Amino acid sequence: MSVRPWLVALIVVLAAVSMYAAAASADSLSDLLPNLFGKGGITLNPTSPGGIFHLPHFTVGSEQQLTVLNDSLRGQLATVPLPSPASGFTFQFDPSLGTFVRSTESFGPIYAQRADTLGRGKLSFGFSYSRYTFDSLDGKNLDDGELVLTFKHQEIPGNNAFERDIIRGQVFAKVDSDVFVLSGTYGILDNLDVSLALPIIHNQVRIKGVATIIPDPGTAPGTHQFSNGSNTLVTHASGEATNVGDMLVRGKYNFYRSGPLALAAALDIRLPTGSTEDLTGVGTTRVGPTFIASASFNRFSPHVNVGVLLGDTSKIENEFFYNVGFDWGVIGPLTLNFDILGRRIIDNERIKAGTTQTADDNIVDAAMGFKFNPWRNTLLFFNMLVPLNRTGLRDNFTPVFGVEVTF
């Protein structure tokens, strides 16, 4: 089979997987948090303290805070780092030999990009698996109830003591995500690649909510009660879903090479193929122009990526990102990798979990791993992704495994 039909086959496979995963989607995960204490927010029993009928008004504030928290969770969960679809093998045509030869000694980074391209007519396929078991959201431990929300009574005319009653809501959450990525890269020209990457994401969310009414000393006993007749309400919600994430389409052009230095420009288009209901997509197309610089000193290859990711800011904020690191071919079949992966949110409006303050702007991770060449143009890779700060939805340790084959 020639190379071009392989490319067509890859596109067909990715499209088929996309349709299958969408059809296999479970019920919406995006409703779990907003409806944790009741659909539309917290609902209390109507009461008649002192013979005066009182209809409690906590629903608006509780629904808003839980929706903000849910939006934060969705935005963070749908934008986890994905391994780069760039090939670990790069080739150049040698006219003196009349064939393609390896153009780099190392196998390249795992999450970042280098300026080298795959080579005209070459094709690579990749598959990776990442396992996220999220531990915290904006520094709040998800397992032990550190995530606390305060719901205030709606103000009504008059100086009423019961308006000073509050409800304290604790959220205990277990959020896990299995991320499978199918990818392919094709060398259109000697210095121009096009890549596709389709994540398939299985999310599992389990939540426990504990709401407690904390009355003001001046409030008559029994003014505010949950439907169970007490001051405390414990609820549970859970769900899981499998769906595609947002597909990545990338073009990379190597416009400069002199000695050990190479420069390239890339354009990422992230299509909204993911589901906002299943927390696998952000719901808008995002465009990411990127500048790439890399160098090769025998087997040691440093690289720098700098770019922006732009889209509909009513769905998710724009961001500036940078990846800085190296890959080092310590011996023929083995390359070590290290990267700092940084993101800075532009015009950040996301609310920090459990507060009314704006969240921090910076999200920084470290990626450490290796690529191993067991046979011909086949690579196996392993990576450890660890957070360097506590902003956003964080997993203390994320393992990544993958395989890549180049033809």
* DSSP class per residue in 179-190: EEEEEEEEEEET
Contact 296, 256 (CB under 8 A): no
pTM: 0.87
Return the bridge partners of 202, or none: 178, 242
Residue 398 to residue 133: CA distance in whole angstroms: 8
Answer CATH for 3-406 from 3.30.110.60, 2.40.160.40, 3.90.1150.10, 3.40.50.2000: 2.40.160.40
**Residue carrying the six token digits 């009314």:** 356
- Tell me the longest C-alpha to C-alpha distance in the chain: 99
Pairing of strands 136-137, 123-134: unpaired
pLDDT digits 0-9 by tens, 194-236: 999 999 999 999 999 999 999 888 887 778 888 888 899 999 9
pLDDT digits 0-9 by tens, 31-82: 888 888 887 778 788 876 665 666 667 766 676 778 777 877 777 787 888 8
From its phi and psi, is residue 244 left (phi > 0), alpha (psi between -120 and 50) or beta?
beta
Residue 218 to residue 173: CA distance in whole angstroms: 34
User: What dihedral angle (degrees, nearest 10) is formed by the CA atoms of 132, 136, 141, 145?
Assistant: -80
* DSSP letter, residue 51: G
pLDDT digits 0-9 by tens, 105-126: 789 999 999 999 998 999 999 9
Whether the per-residue pLDDT at 2 is higher than 50: the answer is no
What residues have CB less than 8 Å from 103, skipping those under 6 apart? 90, 91, 92, 116, 119
Looking at residue 188, its pLDDT comes to: 96
